[in-house]
């Protein structure tokens, strides 16, 4: 007999509520990871992200085995197969209890609901644990509704937050018995050469993850507010891949942040805490408004918006061949490393959805398929914010000018030249929008769209709704 814990986006042994509670009975504990390429493909999960998770899982498996905790792999073909596969393993192990940390996406909630029915029929209890810092059902407006705007949400979050909310569960207890054979992690090859090279950039294992977090708090947090928008600087935390896959928990980050720094507006730590709260807010939104997990605009009226169907322009955006250096450098960074600076995510998303007037859902899917930190809630929230279709979105008439953004945040063109080496010889005062002659001389294309005319086209399209 053995309790069963199922890994999801919580690939850690510390601050893992479901895993810790599963270990308390000391009747034996089996953990399982679901190897599900069909689901990953359907959800547009990046192959780089999956490889990253499996590399980390190898380290995690070793730690579990040291604690006499069994590790199994469940093979499934699509998320709809997962409930029965989990149940079958539970029956094989003679488990009386299954433990899972909640995911808030539409498909994941439906899966857990189906699993609960199947388990109940077999007399097995499904124990679900909240994975948010504060239960999303407990954060409400003064009238008892759910928030749709970040700032008042964040104020209430800060007011509700207690030390109890930041309690960190210890590592699971070492088990006295383990009667089951441990599974090996299946092979998963990266076909793309860029990703084969960039996977080495991302260290795995809890020791490395915590070292990276501690280094950020010590070395970068004080300047975070002032420097975070400059893509040529190494001034952001670079923790998003670890947060997305649950190698590091948002709760742990907040607890450590608030134990070392005061939450004072205008400081680096206040700004970074806001980034954690944005993450929580987008999870809160997909929980309370499941339509955004179903490919729909948060703002229903924008489901009527007629987007341009232009495969050529979209492909040039994907490949970083728009003729706008900052856009092209940002997309090259994404394609080469599987990561993009947050300021640039907004710039390229707004360019696609406004200047090119191409459906934000295409960009959302492309990001998910490339990003090592592709998180459904945050990615969807960010894209809908940029496209003005989402919760607390930028008003439709707010359209970033990518040239102005480039001049402001990459003044000397250092970021541009790093990812577009063919523009190395162009002087800083011309790098943001090279002249016709400089473009020809450096084999760089013309802009695929006129910024002023395309801005007017977007305003007309959005204002007509």
Asked about 275 being catalytic, the answer comes back as yes
Handedness of CA 416, 420, 425, 431 (dihedral sign): negative
Asked about 385 being catalytic, the answer comes back as no
- Candidates 114, 194, 307, 407; catalytic one: 307
- Residue 31 has phi, psi (to 5 degrees) of -105, 150
- Which candidate, 150, 34, 160, places its Cα nearest to that of 87? 34
What is the three-class DSSP state of 128? Answer: strand
Contacts of 53 (CB under 8 A, 6+ apart): 11, 245
- How many Cβ atoms are within 10 Å of 260's Cβ, its own excluded? 12
- Candidates 278, 317, 339, 385; catalytic one: 278
For residues 145-154, one letter each, b for 16 or more C-beta atoms within 10 angstroms of the residue's C-beta and e for the rest, the string is eebbebeebb
Q: What share of the chain is helix, strand, coil (3-state, %, to 5)?
A: 55, 5, 40
Degrees to nearest 5, angle at CA 53 with 51 and 58? 95
Asked about 317 being catalytic, the answer comes back as no
Length, in residues, of the chain: 465
- Candidates 101, 360, 364, 379; catalytic one: 360
Q: Where are the alpha helices (DSSP H) in 2-101?
A: 17-22, 37-42, 47-66, 82-92
What is the three-class DSSP state of 153? Answer: helix
Asked if 434 and 353 touch (Cβ cutoff 8 Å), the reply is no
List Cα–Cα distances, 185 to 56, 73, 330, in angstroms: 11, 7, 34
How many CA atoms are closer than 13 Å to the CA of 204, on its beta-carbon side?
21
Asked about 40 being catalytic, the answer comes back as no
Of the chain, the end-to-end C-alpha distance in Å amounts to 60
- Candidates 21, 208, 342, 369; catalytic one: 342
Contacts of 141 (CB under 8 A, 6+ apart): 147, 152, 156
- Candidates 275, 317, 335, 339; catalytic one: 275
So which residues are the catalytic ones? 275, 278, 307, 342, 360, 383
């Amino acid at each position: 007999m053995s309790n069963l814990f199922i890994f999801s986006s919580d690939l850690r042994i510390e601050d893992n509520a479901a895993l810790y509670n599963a270990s308390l009975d000391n009747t034996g504990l089996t953990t399982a990871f679901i190897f599900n390429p069909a689901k990953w493909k359907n959800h547009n999960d990046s192959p780089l992200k999956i490889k990253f998770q499996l590399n980390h899982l190898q380290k995690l498996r070793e730690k579990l085995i040291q604690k006499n905790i069994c590790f199994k792999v469940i093979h499934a073909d699509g998320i709809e197969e997962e409930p029965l596969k989990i149940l079958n393993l539970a029956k094989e192990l003679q488990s009386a209890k299954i433990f899972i940390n909640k995911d808030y996406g539409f498909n994941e909630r439906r899966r857990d609901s189906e699993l609960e029915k199947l388990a109940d029929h077999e007399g097995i209890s499904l124990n679900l644990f909240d994975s948010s810092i504060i239960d999303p059902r407990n954060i409400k407006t003064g009238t008892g509704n759910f928030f749709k705007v970040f700032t008042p949400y964040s104020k209430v979050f800060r007011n509700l937050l207690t030390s109890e909310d930041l309690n960190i569960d210890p590592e699971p207890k070492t088990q006295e018995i383990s009667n089951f054979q441990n599974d090996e992690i299946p092979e998963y090859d990266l076909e793309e050469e860029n990703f084969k090279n960039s996977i080495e950039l991302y260290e795995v294992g809890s020791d490395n993850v915590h070292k990276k977090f501690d280094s950020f708090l010590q070395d970068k947090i004080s300047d975070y507010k002032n420097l975070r928008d400059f893509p040529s600087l190494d001034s952001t935390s670079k923790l998003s891949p670890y947060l997305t896959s649950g190698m590091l928990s948002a709760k742990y980050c907040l607890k450590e942040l608030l134990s070392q720094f005061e939450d004072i507006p205008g400081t680096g730590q206040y700004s970074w805490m806001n980034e954690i709260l944005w993450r929580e807010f987008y999870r809160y939104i997909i929980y309370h408004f499941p339509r955004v997990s179903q490919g729909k605009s948060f703002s229903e009226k924008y489901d009527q918006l007629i987007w341009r169907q232009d495969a050529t322009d979209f492909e040039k955006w994907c490949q970083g061949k728009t003729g706008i250096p900052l856009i092209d450098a940002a997309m090259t960074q994404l394609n080469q490393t599987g990561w993009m600076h947050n300021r640039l995510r907004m710039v390229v998303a707004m360019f696609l959805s406004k200047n090119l007037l191409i459906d934000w859902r295409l960009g959302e899917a492309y990001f998910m398929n490339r990003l090592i930190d592709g998180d459904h809630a945050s990615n969807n929230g960010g894209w809908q914010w940029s496209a003005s279709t989402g919760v607390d979105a930028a008003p439709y008439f707010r359209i970033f000018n990518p040239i102005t953004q480039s001049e402001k945040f990459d003044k000397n063109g250092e970021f541009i030249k790093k990812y577009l080496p063919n523009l190395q010889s162009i002087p800083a005062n011309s790098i943001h929008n090279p002249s016709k002659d400089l473009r020809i001389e450096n084999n760089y294309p013309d802009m695929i769209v006129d910024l002023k005319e395309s801005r007017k086209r977007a305003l007309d399209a959005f204002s007509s709704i």
